[in-house]
């Protein structure tokens, strides 16, 4: 049995290098010459390992998802719904201005401008962002069910809102906004979040449909 030649490069390291190119240039703006130069491989090696530029991009997105998974898990693990949103928005402001990575967010910037030949790229990016929004919505639905959010809070609308703010933070970071600027944006956005229950309080629904805090305060 003829054995294939082992790869002469580290795949994850190559993906990390390709990620920076896609992140800073966008999918269509990233040429194969730039990608192979950054990855320190030649074109035949790129095609042998990944199949095509688009398949390479999908592998980069998977790698990016691994990198961001701890951040999202930490935000979702916050004890209250409001703290989930605080961690998510403040964390996005910090990640978008990380000096060790290009500014902004790969899931936003790499597909801002794509022609018809790359029309599947914005769809794929939107699908992945929707997965993040769904995870936030489900966490906020749990918070609402536990009486952790005010009765008028809409978990779906709230999750959509915070993701839109995060997208804006990414775009502004790429345009040169500072971490301090973006943290201020996150703080302002938090003012629009329906107030969570005060410490030690939970909310419940009465059979009539009106809401009352268990601690006795009416809403």
Domains and CATH numbers, the chain: 61-196 (1.10.357.10)
How far apart are alpha carbons 131 and 173 in whole angstroms? 23
In tens, the pLDDT along 55-88 reads 999 999 999 999 889 999 999 999 999 999 999 9
Residue 196 banded pLDDT, cuts 50, 70, 90: low
| Tokens 């996005």 -> residue | 92
Do residues 88 and 133 touch, judged by C-beta distance below 8 A? no
Question: Which secondary structure element, helix H or strand E, spans residue 211, and what is its range?
Answer: strand 211-213
Say what the pTM is.
0.83
Residue 155 has pLDDT above 80, yes or no: yes
| Average pLDDT for the chain | 86
Do residues 22 and 113 touch, judged by C-beta distance below 8 A? no
Contacts of residue 187, Cβ cutoff 8 Å, sequence gap at least 6: none
| Tokens 């805090």 -> residue | 213
pLDDT for 119: 82
pLDDT for 219: 29
Do residues 188 and 120 touch, judged by C-beta distance below 8 A? no
Helices (H), 77-119: 81-96, 106-109
Q: Is 132 helix (H, G, I), strand (E, B) or coil?
A: helix
Region for residue 216 given its phi and psi (left: phi exceeds 0; alpha: psi -120 to 50; beta: otherwise):
left
**Closest-CA residue to 202 (of 138, 150, 156, 142):** 150
Residue 3 has pLDDT above 80, yes or no: no
Average pLDDT, stretch 109-130?
87
| Tokens 């804006």 -> residue | 168
Extract the tokens encoding 218: 């009416």
Residue 210 banded pLDDT, cuts 50, 70, 90: very low
Is the pLDDT higher at 56 or at 9? 56
């Amino acid at each position: 049995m003829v054995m294939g030649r082992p790869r002469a490069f580290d795949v994850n390291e190559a993906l990390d290098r390709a990620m920076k190119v896609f992140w800073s240039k966008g999918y269509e703006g990233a040429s194969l010459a730039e990608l192979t130069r950054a990855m320190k491989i030649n074109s035949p090696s790129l095609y042998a390992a990944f199949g095509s530029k688009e398949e390479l991009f999908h592998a980069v997105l998977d790698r990016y998802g691994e990198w961001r998974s701890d951040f999202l898990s930490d935000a979702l693990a916050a004890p209250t719904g409001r703290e989930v949103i605080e961690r998510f928005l403040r964390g996005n402001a910090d990640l978008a201005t990380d000096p060790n990575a290009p500014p902004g967010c790969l899931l936003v910037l790499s597909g801002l401008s794509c022609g018809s030949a790359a029309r599947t790229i914005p769809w794929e990016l939107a699908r992945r962002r929707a997965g993040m929004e769904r995870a936030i919505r489900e966490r906020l639905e749990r918070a609402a069910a536990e009486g952790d959010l005010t009765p008028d809070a809409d978990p779906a609308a709230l999750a959509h809102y915070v993701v839109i703010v995060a997208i804006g933070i990414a775009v502004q970071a790429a345009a040169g906004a500072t971490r301090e600027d973006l943290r201020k944006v996150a703080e302002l956005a938090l003012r629009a979040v329906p107030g969570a229950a005060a410490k030690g309080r939970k909310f419940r629904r009465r059979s009539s449909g009106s809401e009352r805090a268990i601690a006795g305060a009416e809403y």
